[in-house]
Amino acid sequence: MISMENLYVIKIGGNIIDDEEKSKSFLQSFASIKSYKILIHGGGKLATKLADTLGIQQQLIDGRRITDSETLKIVTMVYAGYINKNIVAQLQSYNCNAIGLSGSDANIIKAHKRIHPTIDYGFVGDIDSVNAERLMHFINSGLTPIIAPITSDSNGQLLNTNADTIAQEIAKAMSNYYDVQLIYSFEKSGVLLDANDDTTVISSINYNYYSTLKSEKKIFAGMIPKIDNAFAALNNGVKKVIIGKAEELTNLINNSSGTKITNE
């Protein structure tokens, strides 16, 4: 029998991971959620710091990391290793029975190396499919999946994959079995009219308003892929998408803060 209970798919931004107090506050709120939940995390600044320490030059194009073979080793160690297990350990201390995974584990996410006509992104992965049934198995076993943004292809090649996109794809896949709410939580209070003013939160955005904001260049570049992911999720069965401040997770769930992305 298909369950249509609530499931929260929550993505936590790297800047929160880098802040010990904010991270602690977020994880305590996350652990207190009584419904089913999945957490997807980014990497923060630790991978860049480690690369600098090891003398491995980092290359970014439009804010996206080019993942060469040495960088892949670093992001795998940091994202799927230290950060993932640190989050799991903290959640266990808050009585949340978490299990740390990457996309490769249990073949949860199948991906392929990004193909681009002019740019070689290196070992960056784009998602082909999500094994929702496998994730359901963990959830139904009383475990909370904590997923690092590392995937692999059918040939066993590890790939660095965008965490926002992973959250969207997991939310879409799980919406066949649950009433899914997708929450993008990060350091800002929501989508802002003025990126430097946290009081200019837009409470609700539909697609027409989003198009207007983009054409008027009132949304900063890093937010556009997040909102694109939000609409992709809504168009594929996800019930609600909220973008907002990580420390206000309970309010985001209760719809009393952040920005609601809507098809209405």
The candidate with the shortest Cα–Cα distance to 51, out of 74, 82, 81, 69, is 74
Please write the tens of the pLDDT for every residue from 140-162. 999 999 999 999 999 999 999 99
Q: How far is CA 233 from the centre of its chain?
A: 13
Which tokens hold the place of 254?
């209760």
What pLDDT shows up at residue 62?
A: 65
The candidate with the shortest Cα–Cα distance to 151, out of 136, 141, 166, is 166
Enter the CATH code of domain 6-261.
Answer: 3.40.1160.10
Q: If DSSP codes are grouped into helix, strand and coil, which group holds residue 259?
A: strand
What pLDDT shows up at residue 12?
A: 96
What pLDDT shows up at residue 36?
A: 97
Q: Which residue has the tokens 């556009």?
A: 224
Q: How many CA atoms lie within 13 A of 132 on its CB side?
A: 17
Q: Can you give the residue ranges of every domain in the chain?
A: 6-261
Please write the tens of the pLDDT for every residue from 70-111. 999 999 999 999 999 999 999 999 999 999 999 999 999 999
- Burial (CB count <10 Å: 0-12, 13-18, 19+), residue 58: middle
* Ranges of residues in the chain whose predicted pLDDT is under 70: 1-3, 62-64, 220
pTM: 0.94
What pLDDT shows up at residue 14?
A: 86
